[in-house]
Structure 1
């Protein structure tokens, strides 16, 4: 179930945005910083936890995801790919993941679920880059990748705006955090297990 496998398709659709960004003089690093700004704005909306702020947060998450694709495509167009840019992109992506989960957890007052969820999210991403570090290439596969997480956050934020009441013991956001906890660690293990066998 990973949308990360469709990354190349999405990048084709980004061509007009890449051309526009290049015309106005944006740099890949600048786009990465703007993308992170949208993640922070989304987290703020989730913290407020009102119907309007949840919907605005969902739009900000969508913008973060698109801009995360745009920075890499723009770097290739401008022949500006660099290890520094790649480092900045990955660091800001991880901080974006953290602030989004923290915003969701703070909005419903469930910091315990937030802690469990953010460790699952971070371990998924860590395994992706660690597999690359041992020479196996960047790993985007698994049960849930970053694109999937962003899509789920956006959808659940809209659901939370429409259905604020709990569904059983938890709200829609609470169930999402539980999902990230379980699936995040399972995805990290899946990535580890596949890489371990490739190295054996």
Structure 2
């Protein structure tokens, strides 16, 4: 558990440093009148170019473009922070086009795979490498969408969900490494497995958070009922006492034949 925590903290520190550097680079561009949404759309076009390059078989160049596109993806957010132009629609557009960008790049890799049916990695132990590549690309694409959807759905319910092994930055770096080293099938296998692991991690995290919220609401409701019940019960003061109803009892025993009368 400590290892995972340290890894997450390390990853977040890297992201924070990267955002800081990008913010410094983007400040001069902000003076040109370019809006964050413009940069978001340019990032989508860059992903289309990357997919075309990969589809044509230029895998090393495609890996470099994947890295550049991943860095460029932070420009729109940095521009919004630098110009105080962050909007709800801008955040929505950025998240939506990110899904398109990732799917388009994987589609470019799928097109390349279908055009090259022969073996691409001599170390791959299974037969029909092309079939495995197609399968891994499909699973990795659907898994990436599920990772993003679980986070978005949780936040829509008011639950923070930033846990998980393979968020978008890690997926971009892994895919770029696979293309640069011509080890695409191995990286796709990792993406196919660990994107679903990440989605399951987020499902479990949301389940724990929702159970914790339900328990807190139940305890709060119980305490409110107890307070209401305590306020409605009658109270007796410390110095107050209830005196019994004592009445004189007549008797005919002499010499008290006339009865007993209290003084």
Is 1:198 equivalent to 2:209 in the alignment?
A: yes
Q: Determine the C-alpha separation between the residues in 2 that align with 1:44 and 1:60.
A: 11
Secondary structure class of the residue paired with 1:14: helix
CA distance in 2, matches of 1:132, 1:4: 21
User: Does residue 24 of the first structure (1) align with residue 39 of the second (2)?
Assistant: no
Q: Say yes or no: does 1:129 pair with 2:152.
A: yes
1:176 corresponds in structure 2 to 187
Alignment counterpart, residue 69 of structure 1, candidates 74, 77, 98: 74
Q: RCO higher in 1 or 2 (8 Å CA, sep ≥ 6)?
A: 1
Pick one of 49, 52, 62 that aligns with 1:44: 52
Query: What RMSD in Å do the two structures reach over aligned CA positions?
Result: 1.7
Deviation at 1:4, TM superposition (A): 5.6
Contact 2:39/2:75 (<8 A) preserved: yes
Q: Please give the per-residue CA displacement for 1:170-192, whole angstroms capped at 9, x wherever unaligned.
A: xx212222211111101000011
Moved more, 75-84 or 56-65: 56-65
TM-score normalised by the chain length of structure 2: 0.66
SS state of the match for residue 135, structure 1?
coil
For residue 117 of structure 1, the aligned residue among 130, 134, 140 is 140
Q: 2:111 maps to which residue?
A: 106
Residue correspondences, number: 185
Q: Gapped runs of 5+ residues in structure 2?
A: 1-6, 115-132, 212-263
State the match for 2:162 in structure 1: 140
CA distance in 1, matches of 2:203, 2:26: 34
CA deviations on 1:97-131 (whole Å, 9 max, x unpaired) are 11111222221224333212211111111111111
Structure 1 unaligned residues grouped into runs of 5+: 161-171
Q: Give the distance between the partners of 1:33 and 1:140, measured in 2 at CA.
A: 25
Q: Which residue does 2:223 correspond to in 1?
A: none
Match of 1:186 among 183, 188, 197: 197
* Alignment partner, residue 127 of structure 2: none
User: For the residues of structure 1 that align with 2:172 and 2:28, how far apart are their CA atoms?
Assistant: 24
> Which has more radius of gyration?
2
For 1:95 and 1:4, how far apart are their aligned partners in 2?
24
Secondary structure, aligned partner of 2:165: coil
